[in-house]
Homo-oligomer: A and B are copies of this chain.
Amino acid sequence: LEQQNIDQLQLLLSSALPGQIADILEAMPPTERKQLWALIPESLGSETLTFLHDEVRNALIIDMPAEELIAAAELMEVNDLADMIEELPEPVRQSIEDNLSAEILEHLETSLSFDDGTAGRLMSPDVITVRSDVTLETVLRYLHIHEDLPDYTDGLMVINREGIYQGKLLLNKLLTHHEDTLVQELMSIQHQAIPSLTSEHEIALFFERSNFVSAAVVDENNHLLGRITMDDVIHILRSEADHALMSSAGLDEEADLFAPVIKSAKQRTIWLFINLITAFLAAWVIGMYAETVEKIVALAVLMPVVASMGGIAGSQTLTLTIRGLALNQISSGNTSWLARKEVLIGIINGLIWSAVVAGIAWLWFQDIGISLVIAAAIVINLIAAAAAGIAIPLTLHRLGIDPALSGAVILTTVTDVVGFMSFLGLATHYLL
C-alpha cells in the first residue's frame, strides 16, 4: 500500500462506526486483517474489539504492544474487558490490571467473580441511582451535574440507604410529571430486577416479554449490582441463533470463516470423525445382510431411499422439539401428547409415501415382494424417526447436553440403522 492510499483509508475508517469496522475486519483473510488493524485509530480500536468474535479478537490483540492494549482496556466496557482478559497470558493480564484505576479494577473483579453467561458477568456498573424520598426537582438537579447519561438509560434505579433495589423511575415519568412529586409516588415497582445468577437465555426471554430498555441486576439480598441493557439482549439473541445454526453442522460459533486452512481443517475434522463412526455403524448393519444384498441387488439400489426418508422426517420432529425446548414450550404435562401426535404424523406420512415408493419400485423392478418390503420398512422407519425425534432431544436436555449439537448425529444413526435393518431384515425373512 502506498502512503497516499493509507491516508485515504485512515480518513475513511475514522468516519466509520466500530461495528462496521468489525464487520469489515471479519470479512478479511488474516494477513490483510492485521494490516488494516494497524491503521485503525486508537480511539475506535477498543470499541471495535468488543464487536469481534473471540477468535478474531484474540489473534489481533496478541500482537498489540502492551501500552496500546492497556489504553484499549481503559476504554472498554467492564464485561467486554472481563471476557477479553480471561483469554490473555498471565503477564499481560497482570500488567493491564496494574494500570487500571481502582474503581474499574473493583468492577472487573466483581464481573470476573461471576461465570460467563450469567447476569452478573453481563451487567455493566454504569447505573444512575436515586433515593425514593426525594422530589423530581432534586432528581432533575442531580442529572444536570452529568454531562450525558449512559446509553440505553430509560430510567433511574431507585435504591434505599442500604443499596437495596426498590424500583425504577422511568425517564418518561420524570419528564411528564410535576417537579414536586416524590420519586416513591412515581417509581415502577413492577419493574423487577434480574438475579445475578440468571442465565443469558432467561435474560433474553425476560426482556422479550417486557418493554424494558434496561433492567437492574441484584444479588441474593436484593442489593443493586449493575444493569443489563437491550443491546446485550440483541447480542444474546444473535449468539444463540449463531450457536443453533453452527452447532447443527458441528461448528463452533466463535470460529473464524477466514481462519488459516490448517486451523479450519482441524476444527472441522472432529465432526467428520464422529460422523465416521455413525457411517460405519450403518455399514456394519448392511454387512450383516451382505448375502441378501448379493442375491437381490435391487435392495442395494433402494436402501438409501428408506434411510433418507427416515432421516428427513426425524429431523423435522427433532427441530420442532429443540425449538420447543428453547422456548420453554415443552414440559412434562404435554410430552406424551406431543409424542403421540408426532408418531401419528409419522404413520400418516409413512403410509402415503410408502405407497408412492412401492409404486415406483414396482415400475422399476416388477417385483411385488420388494415393493411390499420397502413400504413396510418406510412406515417402520418413519415411526421410529418420530419417536427418536422427540426422545433424543428430551433425554439430552435432561442430561444437560445441548441437543442442537449432537441431536442430529444421534438421530441419523437411529434412522440409518432402523432403516437398513428393517428393509434388509424383512427382505431376508420374506424374499429369500
Contact = CB atoms under 8 A, between A and B. Distances in A.
A154 B272 CA distance: 49
Instruction: Give the size range of A's interface with the partner.
Output: 35 or more
A279 B354 CA distance: 13
Contacts of A316: 249-251, 268, 271
A265 B345 contact: yes
A88 interface: no
Q: Secondary structure at chain A's binding surface: helix, strand, loop or mixed?
A: helix
Interface stretch (A4-12, A34-42, A60-68, A171-179): A171-179
In this complex, which of A28, A172, A331 has the most chain B Cβ atoms within 10 angstroms of its Cβ?
A172
A187 interface: no
Interface string A240-280: 11101110111100010110011011001101110110111
Contact of A246 (B143, B291, B302, B319): B319
Contacts of A255: 320
Contacts of A242: 323
Contacts of A152: 154, 211, 213
A222 to B, nearest CB: 21
A401 interface: no
Contact of A234 (B233, B271, B304, B318): B233
Contacts of A220: none
Nearest to A235: B208
Given A234-B207, A297-B293, A341-B264, A353 B245 contact: no
B238 A27 contact: no
A237 B282 CA distance: 38
Interface in A268-314: 268-269, 271-273, 275-276, 278-280, 282-283, 286-287, 290-291, 293-294, 297-298, 300-305, 307-309, 312-313
A246 B326 CA distance: 13
18 contacts: A19-B210, A27-B328, A27-B329, A27-B331, A144-B175, A144-B176, A245-B319, A248-B248, A249-B315, A249-B318, A257-B323, A264-B341, A276-B353, A279-B309, A280-B305, A283-B302, A293-B300, A300-B303
Given A154-B154, A244-B244, A258-B334, 4 more contacts: A234-B234, A237-B241, A286-B304, A290-B300
